[in-house]
Structure 1
Amino acid sequence: MPVPERSEYSYSRFKSNRQSTSKEVGLMSNHLFQVPLTKLQGVGPQKAGELHALGISTVGHLIEYYPFRYEDYRVRELRDVKDGERITIQGTIAAPPAMQRYGGKTRLICRVTVDQTLVTAVWFNRAFLKEQLVVGREITLTGKWDQRRKHLTVADSEFPDRGAAKSGTLQPVYSVGGNITQAAMRKLIAKALSQFGAHIPEILPPELLEQHALIARAEAISGIHNPDNTKNGQEARRRMVYEELFLFQLTLQAYRATHMKKADGLVHKVNNEEIRAFVGQLPFALTDSQKQVINEILHDMKQPFVMNRLLQGDVGAGKTVVAAVALYATVRAGHQGALMVPTEILAEQHARSLGKLFEPLGIQIGLLTGSLTDRKRRDLIASLQMGLLDIVVGTHALIQEDVFFRSLGLVVTDEQHRFGVNQRSILRRKGMNPDVLSMTATPIPRTLAITVFGDMEVSTIRERPKGRKSIKTYSVKHEMMDRVLGFIRKEAELGRQTFFICPLIEESEKLDVQNAIDLHIQLSLALPQLAIGLLHGRMSAAEKEETMAAFASGRTNVLVSTTVIEVGVDVPNATLMIVMDADRFGLSQLHQLRGRVGRGEHQSYCILIADPKSENGQERMRAMTETDDGFEISRRDLEIRGPGEFFGTKQSGMPEFRLANLLNDFEVLEQARDDAAALTSKEAFWSSPTYAPLRDYLAREARLREEPLD
């Protein structure tokens, strides 16, 4: 069913529908998430405070505080156990125990018969057990198995004649801290389920439960905390993973249903002939992929709906020129454009490159950064407000309260994940519903992007500009520095330049890694015939600009820098990127740094100097040397870091899922998206009591507001 006119889905109507039905359905937001922890038997203010430190403030939070793994206490036969495994076995005490003392510690040794095998069980610092280890008594042991010595280092033990609590079970393991131990957390959650489990409401509608054969919500939550067996635990997790992803998608799809088709955006009157003429005078030919995404963007800009589009592409794929075409279109339609970038260096570079493109056409470009003098800043803001400037490029300075536009038509944010949700929305609110284009060089597979960024349309540039060569990447040890210096000399003799990146500006007592200031001195001594520059975040804007200008013009052979040059810096003559202590950098960050070279006609190289003892670091080095495809790099980065950190949870506003994993549960995520989209397109969703719990959830999350979501 097509979505009706927006008036039918106004927030006021949604709100009144929710109020009229919430009493009938016993809703989640009115209940467990409003029940204080002190209502739980045995929990006083002190215990409640300790739980609050773990992010648990209500009974609802406690019940949904899920374990991150399980300890397996199911008894196994020795023939099925591998050396070094953690196992649980059951046997009979075969001989009296022996006690050894050393340095104030104890070692208790006892022989136990298990499956007709004599096993040596060892407890450390458990002297109190000696009197209980009686010959002929049955015992259940859990610990690490040594196959060769038939030896078990015991972590836990129980006596069946006393009623073994853990034997035969999967015990949940939670994130705990302070005075809250694993045992205490297990007891608290068991008590909460016993006292309030009958009040856990169902939130998913019957048709979804039936369609996907999902167990009831209360049963699933109980099953996650106390799975009877592996299958039961898997079914419980499957249910709650689907719910978690479905609710996330529901917020996005509800936004699309109520906001994305609002006919209150700027209609850009784009002249196709002018666009073709502008593209035709560019000093290079656009790729087919660039042409495709430009068509998608211009199509959106012509519509009465607000454009909210994500442009993703690999490092050096040509996103900036696509943004330039969109900015040109908004200016020719009589409006102003804003380009917000994360660093001053990048802002200055974009202002220069856009100036070369636009100023011959009479389009005025302004640069607004935090380092402008008060007078220049006042003049620029006045020009912007009067409409004398067509396009402004800037950093966070663009979102200052006193910055106004005459008619803001298009907002472009470069490296959108580097800005917080509020920062992006403040810039957008400086116009009357301007179109929004967000760009990122941290690409993910298109289907995943569409799913995760459900409130945005997604355009992807897959091709590289014609003639762009692959960057040859090598990982080497610190001991090979002499060879690296020889490589720098060789490239310099050919007239090429080198980036040399360090993780720190200056020496640190806490980290034993190379710093930029010391490296600059060392290279100046080792390469006296070359001009060595230094760039870092503590330099003034004028110093940074002078340093970059010297490097861009070729007056400097080598630029020693921190990651201040991570994004956007474009020096076509630079062919060598060297990263010191590369194992200290994330995979996507290394790929961004590598993208600073390979922008000219000459073969480029990336040398990663890393510690071979760093396991995670070596995993990243393998990925970097095996591929230069940004989409593959992002996939591996997602595997290594996990979804929450990869997507920048705190920056992007995207929730870090408690159970779901975007990589492993991708098919569930897509199904949840389809289900949420189908549901929010139905009139019944916004009025029927059946869906009141879902509408209540949306209200509780404060996602459906008259103000657009970001």
Structure 2
Amino acid sequence: MKLTEIPVENLPGVGQQRKENLSELGIESIADLLEYYPYRYEDYRISDLTRAEQDERVTVRGIVYGQPSVRWYGKKKSRMSAKIDVNGIHVNLIWFNQAYLREKINPGQIIVVSGKWDRHRLQITVDRTFLSQAEQEKHVGRLEPVYSVTGSVKVNGLRKLIHEAFIRYGNRIEEILPEELRRRYKLISRPRAMYFLHFPKGREEGRQARRRMVYEELFLYELKMMWLKKQARMENTGIAHSFAEEKVEEFIDRLAFPLTNAQRRVVQEILADLRSTSQMNRLLQGDVGSGKTVVAAIVLYANYLSGYQGALMVPTEILADQHAASLKQLLSPLGLQIVALTGRMTARERRDALGQIQMGLADIAVGTHALIQKGVTFHNLGLVITDEQHRFGVKQRATLREKGEVPDVLHMTATPIPRTLAITYYGEMDVSTIDEMPAGRQPVDTYWVKKEIWPRIVNFIEKECRKGRQAYVICPLIEESEKLDLQNAEEVYGQLTMALAPIRVGLLHGRMSSAEKEEVMAHFAANEVQVLVSTTVVEVGVNVPNATVMVIYDADRFGLAQLHQLRGRVGRGGGTATCVLVADPKSETGVERMRIMTETTDGFEISRRDLEMRGPGDFLGVKQSGLPEFKIADLNEDLRVLEIARADAQELVNRPDFSSNPETRALYEYLQEENLESKSFD
């Protein structure tokens, strides 16, 4: 019987109530218990005080001299002190609210204490005391695991239960990694690694154990991803697009600018997917201004050449209009019919657009979520593209995909994610990355200034506008707030309207209706409004080439990704552009964000630094869901291991003898037991 099949109540002392308490921690089987790893360790090995740093946690053994004394603060709070001799060093011990120990500690007694070391005062603030010989033998000299527990489950009780499980069932822990992988990376065995994670004798044992189990956990996760992809390729027959590659090359050659090497690479990756008989499910990520739209145009053209319709879904109506205009400029001369479908169309315009889409007269439909509403029927949809795909839910993306039989799917995002994190979060997708900016695209000059020079910033905005340019001014709030001392959009709008007259100032925020937002943005795009005061609703997708100034007020209140996206709204027409971060940060994190933004304009570097500062869950906005929950791996530390594990998993899964080879048979059986067909990774 496998450990996953042995209930935890088989252990002595686990009755019905304890079984229910353990179940709340997700522990129901012996396997669950053995794989419930500690999140840290208490180090009770004896310390050398001559080498201990200030505020370091230390454990010492010493002889008590003098009687302990207690000072009371009120009826319950107390401070007890005693002195011990530690190898000739006289150390003062302090206990808070443990006055009961005074009766148990006597002069001449040998005790062991653990706590925070103050080397200047030769003092330890004690949080753990071992008085008896038995206690000292049991705990001292060890690294003791500390587990995350709730309710009536206590750390000591859980520790004892895990130790008992190893005694009774440790010999049943099966190895799952092939010997070739263990040998390649010099990994210790699975039984030893699991035991050492719970009960390491020293740091090196713990390090080797974690190294082994981190690799195993990430490898098994990626193995499932690779297996799902393989099954999808075998079972999900897609459209094998057939198109004249020379015509695609002619189209690329006629562009007004050369493609970057990165653009050419991702175009070839996507075209290979189109030609394949398997349905494409690919993420295209690239920094702001890296040229994703022209890549989309190229693959939409290839899709058209093979006789199919294409659809491009975007989050806002103004962005739909901009994409439709860009595609018409690029593709209409080649005979393609592009139709826009948005919520603000008149009934007649909508009826005409729907008719063209249904009859196949429209080669490409560009729209908002209006594309996925009932009544939208495609003649023969072959390619679906979603731009800023994270703005759409899984169901919305799936609904658009279902408008065709088995259309190829391309998701695009301008929010860069480190590649190793992208292949985990978007586990079911292939990932293409444009990591190179077009030639001639100048980085936006970025400055961090204090609020006291606001009048000078207003003068700078006025000078730029008198040169015929436009500016954004971004604020974190809509209205004045008594709780937060942040500049608000309405107040700034009022100030700038008076200070900049007759220059026209517009206001845009999230409480406006969609129609009001679209109207304001249309005026700004047409240069009928020169300065746009806005909240972060302009963060993604707005393309106003004439805008050269981005001012972000209270910039330290924004995340790095937001700041970078906002900065990407300017400088889109070539030439120089300026981003001014107005902030008086109150925290080290705020200062660090300002420093990073002024040091680099590389979105991937910013995303890497953002990931370091926040961790994967906060970074992706999926702290509670979305990311796989690993028991021991930390994506912030173990991204390199993830990438290695992914390559290893892909190589093994694609072996012809994967299911029959004795070395990989255990992995194959593991995949069958996981019942992946019933699980969704979308």
TM-score (norm 1): 0.86
Deviation at 1:87? 1.6
Deviation at 1:593? 1.5
Residues 1-12 of structure 1 correspond to what in structure 2 (within 5 A)?
none
Q: What residue in structure 2 maps to residue 499 of structure 1? A: 472
Residues 204-223 of structure 1 correspond to what in structure 2 (within 5 A)?
204-223=177-196
2: CA distance between counterparts of 1:698 and 1:509? 56
1:435 matched to 2:405? The reply is no
Q: Secondary structure at the match of 1:683?
A: coil
More displaced stretch, 103-112 vs 470-479: 470-479
2: CA distance between counterparts of 1:133 and 1:509? 55
Q: What residue in structure 2 maps to residue 537 of structure 1? A: 510
Deviation at 1:97? 0.9
Deviation at 1:323? 0.3
1:407, 1:431 within 8 Å by CA — same for their partners in 2?
yes
* 2:298 pairs with one of 302, 307, 325: 325
1:267, 1:301 within 8 Å by CA — same for their partners in 2?
yes
Q: 1:65 to 1:288 in 2, by over 3 A?
A: same
Q: What residue in structure 2 maps to residue 92 of structure 1? A: 63
1:69 matched to 2:43? The reply is no
1: CA distance between counterparts of 2:580 and 2:630? 36
1:127 matched to 2:99? The reply is yes
1:118 matched to 2:78? The reply is no
Deviation at 1:627? 0.9
Q: 1:182 to 1:581 in 2, by over 3 A?
A: farther
> Which letter maps to 1:112?
I
Q: Secondary structure at the match of 1:409?
A: strand
1:102 matched to 2:73? The reply is yes
Q: 1:463 to 1:236 in 2, by over 3 A?
A: closer
What per-residue deviation string (whole Å, max 9, x for no partner) do you get for residues 440-466 of structure 1? Answer: 323356677678767544433333223
Q: Secondary structure at the match of 1:684?
A: coil
2:237, 2:278 within 8 Å by CA — same for their partners in 1?
yes
Deviation at 1:626? 0.9
2:550, 2:580 within 8 Å by CA — same for their partners in 1?
yes
1:475, 1:607 within 8 Å by CA — same for their partners in 2?
yes
> Which letter maps to 2:511?
R
Q: What residue in structure 2 maps to residue 5 of structure 1? A: none
2: CA distance between counterparts of 1:701 and 1:401? 37
Residues 382-531 of structure 1 correspond to what in structure 2 (within 5 A)?
383-400=356-373, 403-444=376-417, 456-507=429-480, 511-531=484-504
2:471, 2:549 within 8 Å by CA — same for their partners in 1?
yes
Q: What residue in structure 2 maps to residue 603 of structure 1? A: 576
1:93, 1:110 within 8 Å by CA — same for their partners in 2?
yes
Deviation at 1:250? 0.8
1:255 matched to 2:209? The reply is no
1: CA distance between counterparts of 2:665 and 2:115? 49
2: CA distance between counterparts of 1:416 and 1:462? 19
* 1:341 pairs with one of 314, 319, 325: 314
1: CA distance between counterparts of 2:261 and 2:555? 35
2:420, 2:642 within 8 Å by CA — same for their partners in 1?
no
1:31 matched to 2:5? The reply is yes
1:657 matched to 2:630? The reply is yes
Deviation at 1:571? 0.9
> Which letter maps to 2:549?
L
What per-residue deviation string (whole Å, max 9, x for no partner) do you get for residues 566-603 of structure 1? Answer: 22211111112222332332222221111111212331
1: CA distance between counterparts of 2:342 and 2:30? 48
Q: 1:681 to 1:356 in 2, by over 3 A?
A: closer
1:570, 1:599 within 8 Å by CA — same for their partners in 2?
yes
* 1:638 pairs with one of 595, 608, 611: 611
> Which letter maps to 2:577?
S
1: CA distance between counterparts of 2:608 and 2:295? 25
Q: Secondary structure at the match of 1:96?
A: strand
2: CA distance between counterparts of 1:418 and 1:194? 51
* 1:153 pairs with one of 111, 115, 125: 125
> Which letter maps to 1:575?
T
More displaced stretch, 372-381 vs 280-289: 372-381
Q: Secondary structure at the match of 1:80?
A: coil
1:74, 1:169 within 8 Å by CA — same for their partners in 2?
yes
2: CA distance between counterparts of 1:68 and 1:373? 59
The gaps in structure 2 that reach 5 residues or longer are none
> Which letter maps to 2:564?
H
1:345, 1:544 within 8 Å by CA — same for their partners in 2?
no
Q: Secondary structure at the match of 1:171?
A: strand
Residues 182-331 of structure 1 correspond to what in structure 2 (within 5 A)?
182-183=155-156, 185-187=158-160, 189-190=162-163, 192-193=165-166, 196-260=169-233, 264-331=237-304
1: CA distance between counterparts of 2:481 and 2:24? 31
Deviation at 1:637? 1.9
Q: How many equivalent pairs are there?
A: 680
2:115, 2:127 within 8 Å by CA — same for their partners in 1?
yes
Deviation at 1:485? 2.5
2: CA distance between counterparts of 1:398 and 1:49? 49
Q: 1:530 to 1:499 in 2, by over 3 A?
A: same
Q: 1:198 to 1:536 in 2, by over 3 A?
A: farther
2: CA distance between counterparts of 1:505 and 1:52? 46
Q: 1:536 to 1:345 in 2, by over 3 A?
A: farther
> Which letter maps to 1:114?
V
2: CA distance between counterparts of 1:650 and 1:358? 42
1:364 matched to 2:344? The reply is no
2:617, 2:624 within 8 Å by CA — same for their partners in 1?
no
2:317, 2:518 within 8 Å by CA — same for their partners in 1?
no
Deviation at 1:125? 0.8
2: CA distance between counterparts of 1:44 and 1:512? 56
Q: Secondary structure at the match of 1:321?
A: helix
1:420, 1:652 within 8 Å by CA — same for their partners in 2?
no
2:540, 2:565 within 8 Å by CA — same for their partners in 1?
yes
Q: What residue in structure 1 maps to residue 51 of structure 2? A: 80
1:680 matched to 2:661? The reply is no
Q: Secondary structure at the match of 2:50?
A: helix
Q: What residue in structure 2 maps to residue 561 of structure 1? A: 534
2:420, 2:639 within 8 Å by CA — same for their partners in 1?
no
TM-score (norm 2): 0.89
1: CA distance between counterparts of 2:100 and 2:265? 75
Q: Secondary structure at the match of 2:103?
A: helix
Q: 1:492 to 1:413 in 2, by over 3 A?
A: same
* 1:169 pairs with one of 127, 132, 142: 142
> Which letter maps to 1:156?
R
2: CA distance between counterparts of 1:653 and 1:146? 44
Q: 1:63 to 1:424 in 2, by over 3 A?
A: farther
More displaced stretch, 482-491 vs 573-582: 482-491
Deviation at 1:514? 3.7
1: CA distance between counterparts of 2:168 and 2:573? 68
More displaced stretch, 307-316 vs 561-570: 307-316
Deviation at 1:285? 4.2
2: CA distance between counterparts of 1:607 and 1:260? 49
2:470, 2:527 within 8 Å by CA — same for their partners in 1?
yes
Q: Secondary structure at the match of 2:277?
A: coil
Deviation at 1:609? 2.7
Q: What residue in structure 2 maps to residue 15 of structure 1? A: none
Q: 1:277 to 1:208 in 2, by over 3 A?
A: closer
Q: Secondary structure at the match of 1:289?
A: helix
Q: Secondary structure at the match of 1:598?
A: coil
The gaps in structure 1 that reach 5 residues or longer are 1-25
1: CA distance between counterparts of 2:33 and 2:584? 42
2:284, 2:433 within 8 Å by CA — same for their partners in 1?
yes
1:644, 1:655 within 8 Å by CA — same for their partners in 2?
no
Q: 1:68 to 1:410 in 2, by over 3 A?
A: same
Q: What residue in structure 2 maps to residue 16 of structure 1? A: none
Q: 1:517 to 1:252 in 2, by over 3 A?
A: same
